[in-house]
Amino acid sequence: MTFPFYFSQNFILLNQDLSLSTPIEYLKGVGPQRGELLRKQLNVHSIGDLLTHFPFRYVDKTVFSSISQLVPNEYAQILVSVVNIEERGMGRSKRLIAIVDDGTSKMEILWFKIHRWLSESLVRGSKWIMYGKCEFNGFRWQMIHPDMEVYQAQSTSTLSKFEPVYSNGEILASKGLNSKGILKLITPVIPLLNEKNIPESLPNYLLEKLGLIPSWQAFRQIHLPKSIKELEDAQARLKFEELFYIRLKIIFAKAQRAQLNKGFIFSKSGDFFQNYFHHHLPFALTGAQKRVIKEIHGDMMSGKQMNRLLQGDVGSGKTMVAFLCMIIAVGNGFQACLMAPTEVLAAQHATAIGNYADSIGLNCCLLTSNIKGKERNAILKDLAEGKLHLIVGTHALLEDWVVFNNLGLCVIDEQHRFGVGQRAKLWEKTKPHPPHILVMTATPIPRTLAMTLYGDLDISIIDELPPGRKEIKTLHFKDVHRGKMFEFVRQQIELGRQIYIVYPLIEESEKLDLENLNTGYEKLLQYFPLPQYRISIVHGKMKPTDKHTEMQRFVTGSSHIMVATTVIEVGVNVPNASVMIIENAERFGLSQLHQLRGRVGRGADQSYCILMTSDKLSKDSVARIKTMCDTNDGFKIAEADLELRGPGDLEGTKQSGLIELKVANIFEDSKIFQAANAWAEKILEKDPNLENPLNSVLKQQLIKLEKIKFWSRIS
């Protein structure tokens, strides 16, 4: 940066010269203090950053709401005159209150931070345009800290009838950088934008084919649209670009990795598979199970290393798919392992898979950190010598002391509990290629989202449940009706069924939660006394051996009720347990509720899920409980969940850049997403290394976006 830059605050405006990388301080109206704030609060460092701080909504400046027709909790723009102004309260509760009138009614405008200019300029009779959220406090309408400007009969700004609204936050607003303040910074920059200072970031052929406007124009129109059409054009262009590059980046990186990572070739399905498939299957596979096995085997014989995500609702039969894929590995001369997130789940899988394996004469063992001494040594020896074909375990399998003879496939259950780094540890266990990886998850999410979140994985979906499954009936009981719930439980036990009662356990309130569980347990003992009724109890703070004993009592049917924390969330399979009672259901997220519910409905009997909640519920909780009562479909639930919470809470969203989407919305813009994805695929298929000069802009953008490390690896 050369010296004179610092001297001219108006540099840009004087020279009509603009570069996106120019630090934000050089803009008129941004001094060192505001510059620091913009960096800290909005991550805006340069003029380019400011230009990508897009408005999140637009106000039609020519339209005003009437105070008499306001809607609570909605934003409105009003044209008012000040009737009265006064300060009330002392110290921290001091506030400035203006009564304003628009001819239809009066309302209160409140400020809790009082700037001198406010009290000076809000003189009685002055006319203002105010914009903000309207609330009704039971007596009168209120607006707090509105965006505002003095009304001028002939508006000076003829640029746009739509005024952009920018997000800012309290701190920026207190330094004059509320939405209007930000608009003031941006407005003089807009007319200076042209093809030179906003270089085109999409290839021309794409713009032409899709009828998209050029980048510089889109930037102008997204900030100061002159019409709806201009705004829509700008949004279409910028949304496409944003989603297109997300996909291009992911597909490109995947292709690069595939080039690098050759995989073991499982050319046949093998004798074990054939034998099991034709003579030992306990049930006919569903069409979906067959399809995903084909997809998976296709990967494993391709010569490339597989990285595949298997999605399927709870109870869709992922375990059998995993087992069949594992014996394909064995039939090709390799070992296979399955890794589960908890001891309980690993043990369950080991039992199921051990039984299947027995029938075709294969060995399968369980390995966890609790299996020690001689027993462990024997397992490790067999594993290293290749006598052990299949192994099921927890993350203990990743330890350095676990040495495989020739691991070919690793199945990972419930991906969200395993870090990517842990997956990498597996790779050190095999030579010359990394093992094939199959990740199974029961948290179904919409495909577009999955493609983005798990960008490095191919995706298979089991979209069909085994036949004969009865819908689980889901009921909601409030605490006041607890007696009815107990009565229901008693009836079900009389019919010979078993019952789960689950309590939430979250780390922050672990102690309280455990108390809650223990009180619940004691109450239960009074209602269901020994020896007629037997109750098991399991929670994370118990010794593993005690836990195991209690679980076994329930699994073998010798206890009627299992009281547990969410340790049973994943995987436990007791077909005779047909009632799931979830205590404090309002404290669970939707996907967790769905997981828990999936523990029942596995036997022949009608199953029930009872959601117990406190008597008073928040709006969000009501929505969640209603969703659960309305549907059993995991995909529908996942979508409702995303709608309620937004994708920000989903595991993996951070890395994917999804929550930083600036214009596009992964759900609303799914059509644009599909188009962007199709184009990204098509372009990379024809020009995998982006060497065609027509695509040079794509290559440059990728380098810029990603600072892609692996470029150096391509020769």
Residue ranges binding ligand ADP (CB under 6 A): 283, 285-286, 289, 312, 314-320, 442, 466, 573, 602
Contact yes or no for 221/191 (Cβ under 8 A)? no
For ligand ADP, which is the closer residue by CB, 225 or 317? 317
Nearer to ligand ADP, 58 or 323 (CB): 323
CA 154 vs CA 58, 62, 224: distances in Å = 21, 12, 19
Work out the angle between the directed axes of helices 228-260 and 215-223 (0-180°, nearest 10).
130
Judged by CB, which is closer to ligand ADP: 319, or 474? 319
3-state secondary structure 479-548: HHHHHHHHHHHHHHHHCCCEEEEECCCCHHHHHHHHHHHHHHHHHHHHHCCCCCCCEEEECCCCCHHHHH
Sort residue 244 into left (φ over 0), alpha (ψ -120 to 50) or beta.
alpha
Residue 321 Cβ, how far from ligand ADP at the closest point, in Å?
Answer: 8
> What six digits make up the tokens of 597?
């519910």
CB 442 to ligand ADP: min, Å:
5
State the maximum Cα–Cα separation within the chain, in Å, rounded to a whole number: 92
In which residue are the tokens 């036990």 written? Answer: 493
- The C-alpha angle with vertex 202 and arms to 199 and 203, in degrees rounded to 5, equals 105
Q: Do residues 378 and 369 make contact, with C-beta atoms less than 8 angstroms apart?
A: no
Q: Which is nearer to ligand ADP, 265 or 285 (CB)?
A: 285
Considering the complex, what minimum distance in angstroms separates the CB of residue 574 from ligand ADP? 10
Cis preceding-peptide flag for 531 (omega within 30 of 0) = yes
Q: Specify the residue for token string 């003031």.
A: 184
CA distance 133 to 78: 11
CB of 504 to ligand ADP, least distance (A): 21
Q: Are 295 and 424 in contact (CB under 8 A)?
A: no
Q: Which is nearer to ligand ADP, 322 or 663 (CB)?
A: 322
What's the min distance (Å) between Cβ of 441 and ligand ADP? 10
- Report the nearest approach of ligand ADP to the CB of residue 388 (Å): 23
Cβ proximity to ligand ADP: between 82 and 593 the closer is 593
The answer to whether the Cα torsion of 563, 567, 570, 574 is positive or negative is negative
Minimal distance, residue 711 CB to ligand ADP, in Å: 40
What are the tokens at 602? Answer: 């596995």
Query: How many CA atoms within 13 Å lie on the side-chain side of 40?
Result: 9
Rounded to 5 degrees, what angle do the CA atoms 348, 350, 351 make?
65
C-alpha–C-alpha distance, residues 669 and 481, integer Å: 44
* Number of neighbouring beta carbons within 10 Å of residue 686: 9
Q: How near is the Cβ of 597 to ligand ADP at its closest, in Å? A: 12
> Shortest Cβ contact with ligand ADP: which residue?
317
Shortest distance, position 455 Cβ to ligand ADP, whole Å: 23
Q: How far is the CB of 411 from ligand ADP (least distance, A)?
A: 11
Closest distance of CB 271 from ligand ADP, Å: 22
Nearer to ligand ADP among residue 4 and residue 467 (C-beta): 467
The CA-CA-CA angle for residues 265, 271, 273, to 5°, reads 80
Q: Return the bridge partners of 129, or none.
A: 79, 149
Residue 550: what residue type? Answer: E
d(CA 282, CA 360): 13
User: Which residue, among 55, 79, 63, has the nearest Cα to 127 in the 3D structure?
Assistant: 79
Residue in 339, 343, 337 with CA at minimum distance from that of residue 370: 343
Smallest gap from Cβ 54 to ligand ADP, in A, equals: 41
Min separation Cβ 351 and ligand ADP, Å: 12
Q: Alpha-carbon distance 195 to 222, whole Å?
A: 16
Q: Closest by alpha carbon to 170, among 132, 113, 130?
A: 113
**Of residues 212, 196, 157, the one with CA closest to residue 180:** 157
Q: What's the closest the beta carbon of residue 289 comes to ligand ADP, in angstroms?
A: 6
Closer residue to ligand ADP, CB minimum distance, 251 or 574: 574
Closer by beta carbon to ligand ADP, 83 or else 284: 284
Closest to ligand ADP by CB, 304 vs 318, is 318
